[in-house]
Amino acid sequence: MISIKEITKRFTGVTAVDHVSFDIGHNEIHALIGENGAGKSTICKMLTGVYAIDEGYIEVEGKKEEFKGPADSMKAGINMVYQERNLIGYLNAAQNICLGTENCKGIVLDQKAMMKRAESVRRKLGVDTPLDIPVEKMGAGAQQLVEIMRAASTEPKLLILDEPTASLGEGEIEPFLKFVKKLTTDIHISVIYITHKLEEIFAIADKVTVMADGKRTMTANIADITQDECIKAMIRSDKIKAVTVPDMNYEKAEESRLLDVHELTFDGKTHQVEFHVNRGEVVGFYGLVGAGRTETMEAISGIRRCDKKEFTFDGEKITKGDSFAMIQKGIILTPELRKNGIFPSLNLVENVCTLFVKRFASRIGMLKKKESYKFAKQVLEKNGTKFNSMGQLISHLSGGNMQKIIIGRSIEVENLKLLTVDEPTAGLDLGAKSEIYLKIRNLADNLGKSVVFISSELEELMKVCNRMYIFYDGNVVKELKREEFDNQVILEYALGGVGSGK
């Protein structure tokens, strides 16, 4: 149906996409995978008319197309749902679905007509997402469906989905994958599915195209290949390093407890969050979205206001303190959303030094240029951050390199004792993930620091952690040592099936 023929895109001497060709068939889910920077996004931006094609061309239903902008691409039947939400929170679902194509009566919006259009799309797609409530009050899964309904309202032949499950909880992913499959079987829309999650590809895709360094390295039927073959096609073997978790003497570890928590009261509710963290270990927090993992560590870190908190840290009983006070004690949290951990309008030096303002500030409040530059450069190089210049904006870096800065600067805090990393690998490719895993283990194994690792990806917690706590409905419902890790048991607790009063 759609053929990509030898397309090439260059940026200032760098070839982002190099003579790539592949076909997307009727009613087909075609996965597009590769590391960050492999060329996936650039291909999609050429398909949607955002970027002009330097060489090659695109055919739709046998007709050669030349897109001068997104409107041309949409007219040809191609639409895309981006990873970052593009919704207006205070508008309801129907208004968001019709955004840009609103119905009007004279100069007044025709809300009734828009609701009717949105209902028609919803019925066609077979979903039950409410159309009359503001999208800001919806969960991530419902918001994702609103995005897709808006794209589907243009009646596309090809829909591109970019990391569609990145913000979904464990319980939302399987229904969403079934919905994507239904788009092709029932609605007859072809899909390009971009993700780093190979298990999703092998669950729903018909074909896969693998990209590496701007080149297509493989296109194959899913039925004919394995996950290992996909990994080999998209990444050099030397970039993925094995993570080793040393055996732990738990009795000895108990003698050097760093953090001991029993109960916290926040958001008007008392949470039974009995857990502890020993020195030099990595402790995983697992649970579904809304289980209370992030909120618990925000409370400990002084970010979230508590009605009552009482815990012991490094032998000291703590009942109050904001984030600044907790940093002074050696407790640091890197946020779930990378954008909350950076200052996008500041350069790399300024972002690295945000935790060290007192150390590098001059008498007039400006950073001491020479000292801050030297320190920031050391941090960036130590963490293998890829950048063009120290003066470039942090917002111009890839997600993996932003994460290296956020974690890297935290490690440099002089009295760091406990680091919480919240979804540190979300949206990262396999190579970047393995670097983060090694950094976390190095903190514990070689530097003697303690790490709380919050993640929605059970596999990575099982790979990296010494122990794990499972959360359900705001409470800790189970503790497991590494030798007790079991997928089925963990999921049963996380879903409230055992040990949670259900």
DSSP-based three-state secondary structure for 384 = coil
443-498 pLDDT, tens digit per residue, is: 999 999 999 999 988 889 999 999 999 999 889 999 999 999 998 899 889 877 66
Q: Which residues contact 48 (CB under 8 A, 6 or more apart)?
A: 67, 70, 73, 74, 78, 79, 80, 160
Q: Measuring CA to CA, how many Å separate 397 from each of 37, 405, 435?
A: 11, 10, 16
Give, in order, the Cα–Cα distances in Å from 396 to each of 43, 387, 390, 400, 406.
Answer: 19, 9, 12, 12, 15
Residue 241, amino acid = K
Q: Is residue 57 part of a domain?
A: yes
- Spatial contact of 258 and 462, defined as CB atoms under 8 Å apart: no
| Residues 135 and 60 grouped into a single domain | yes
Whether residue 160 is contained in a domain is answered as yes
Number of domains in the chain: 2
Last residue within a domain, chosen from 239, 271, 289:
239
User: Minimal CA–CA distance to 290: which of 86, 106, 140, 151?
Assistant: 140
Give CA–CA dist 334/336, Å, rounded. 7
Distance from C-alpha of 169 to C-alpha of 48, rounded to nearest angstrom: 29
CB of 403 within 8 A of CB of 428?
Answer: yes
Q: 197 and 316 in one domain?
A: no
In a domain, 395, yes or no: no
Write the Ramachandran bin of 474: left for phi over 0, alpha for psi from -120 to 50, otherwise beta. Answer: left
96 and 213 housed in the same domain: yes
Q: Looking at residue 362, what is its pLDDT? A: 80
Residues 194 and 229 in one domain: yes
56 part of a folded domain: yes
Q: Domain for residue 350, yes or no?
A: no
Give the pLDDT of residue 237.
53
Residues 434 and 305 in one domain: yes
| Confidence (pLDDT) at 502 | 46
Q: Which of 482, 483, 500 is nearest to 491 (CA)?
A: 500
Give CA–CA dist 150/139, Å, rounded: 17
- Would residue 477 count as lying in a domain? yes
What the block records as the tokens of 82 is 């981006």
Whether 286 and 490 have beta carbons less than 8 Å apart is answered as: yes
290 contact partners, CB below 8 Å, separation of at least 6: 169
Q: Examine residue 94 and state whether it is found in any structural domain, yes or no.
A: yes
pTM greater than 0.85 (yes/no): no
Domain identity same for 87 and 182: yes
Shared-domain flag, residues 301 and 176: no
Q: Which stretch of DSSP H or E encloses residue 74? A: helix 70-75
| pLDDT score recorded for residue 500 | 47
Residues 88 and 120 in one domain: yes
> pLDDT value at position 236?
58
Is the residue at 369 inside a domain?
no
For 222-259, the DSSP string reads GGG--HHHHHHHHS-GGG----------HHHHHTTEEE
Instruction: Among 208, 239, 270, give the residue marking a domain's end.
Output: 239
Q: Do 136 and 267 belong to one domain?
A: no
Q: Check if the beta carbon of residue 153 is closer than 8 Å to that of residue 102.
A: no
| Segments of the chain with pLDDT less than 70 | 236-241, 497-502
Q: Are 164 and 263 members of one domain? A: no
What local confidence, expressed as pLDDT, does residue 132 receive? 93
Q: What is the CATH number of the domain that holds 132?
A: 3.40.50.300
Residues 178 and 299 in one domain: no
Residue 259 shares a structural domain with residue 147: no
Structural domain range at position 173 = 2-239
- The last residue of one of the domains, among 239, 267, 294, is 239
